[in-house]
Amino acid sequence: MIPSTHPDATLAFDAAQAAAKLIRARRAEYNLEALGVEHKSSSVDPVTVVDKESEQLIATCLREYEPEVAILGEESQAGGSHSGNRRWIVDPIDGTVNFLYDSQAYAVSIALEVAGAIEVGVVCDVPADTTYLAVRDEGAWRFSHGQWQRVSCSQPKSLASTLVATGFSYVSSRRDTQGELLAHLLGQVRDIRRFGSAALDLCRVAEGSVDAYYEHGLNPWDFAAGSLIAAEAGAVCTVPTLDTFGDQPALLCAAAPSIAQELAALLPQDLKKESISTA
């Protein structure tokens, strides 16, 4: 039983668990050449047949209880009506490149948006069989080895002792600019981590296994669930609006409160070369 009585939290948790089970089974069956790889924004931004199968399964689970509900999914953007101002935002595999290489950081992400705000967020770390859950104004939890545990973010003493996670665009020109920002930041923090899943990076902030995470140019399905989990765990979050997509290099940042203001001063809201201070 989940630690919330919110009915949509149970629905999202069950859908994420079902999708994770499917993904684990498919990954065991396929090799890299047999995953049916296509590409999205660039030749290095893949989508697999398993992404599509996972998204379809999630949509089926969610629509069993609300047949016409709107679903914004990464792979199909699966339509439906905005009945009652409700919409599900789904990333069927966040970290597809990691999934392709069987690198242990990819996740299912499901969020419920109500009237423009995220009310429920679930992120399932598929290889680790660990699930994170948050409900607005109720807190955030982690489910692992059959046990629920409330999570809370860290409290580093200074920016110099802060472990920061980040990610990079699949568009080469934007990666160049992200690299410049990273080089400027690297000497001012403890170290940088790049795991390859925005949803899991936000959950790492929530549980304190990193102190902060930032990235520019994300899509709603990348951050919708994870940003609520981080915020409910006490992180200070700068989150783009849910109509902001990856072609707009807006900032997403989640950070421990003790260093959030200092880190924010180093991060431009919009990633342009002229906005990166070298002071």
Question: What is the band of 34 on the pLDDT scale with cuts at 50, 70, 90?
Answer: low
CA dist., res. 52 & res. 49, Å (int): 5
Question: What is the band of 14 on the pLDDT scale with cuts at 50, 70, 90?
Answer: very high
Instruction: Note the pLDDT of residue 84.
Output: 62
Q: State yes or no: pLDDT of 208 exceeds 80.
A: yes
pTM of the model: 0.91
Domains 7-150 and 159-275 share a fold: no
| Residue 74 assigned ligand-binding role | yes
Catalytic-role residue among 23, 93, 229, 259:
93
Q: State yes or no: pLDDT of 17 exceeds 90.
A: yes
The answer to whether residue 75 is catalytic is no
Catalytic-role residue among 8, 53, 55, 74:
74
| Partners of 69 in the β-ladder | 81
The class level of CATH for 159-275 reads alpha beta
**CB of 190 closer than 8 Å to CB of 163:** yes
What percent of the chain is predicted at pLDDT more than 70?
Answer: 88
| Residue 91 assigned ligand-binding role | yes
The answer to whether residue 191 is catalytic is no
Domain ranges of the chain: 7-150, 159-275
Across the chain, mean pLDDT equals: 90
The answer to whether residue 74 is catalytic is yes
CA dist., res. 190 & res. 178, Å (int): 18
Catalytic-role residue among 23, 58, 89, 96:
96
The answer to whether residue 96 is catalytic is yes
The mean pLDDT value for 224-253 works out to 96
Instruction: Note the pLDDT of residue 273.
Output: 55
| Residue 93 assigned ligand-binding role | yes
Pick from 13-17, 29-33, 109-113, 137-141: least confident: 29-33
Report residue 30 as tokens.
Answer: 């396929």
Q: What is the pLDDT of residues 62-112, one digit of tens each?
A: 999 999 999 999 776 555 555 568 999 999 999 999 998 889 999 999 999
Architecture of 7-150 per CATH? 2-Layer Sandwich (3.30)
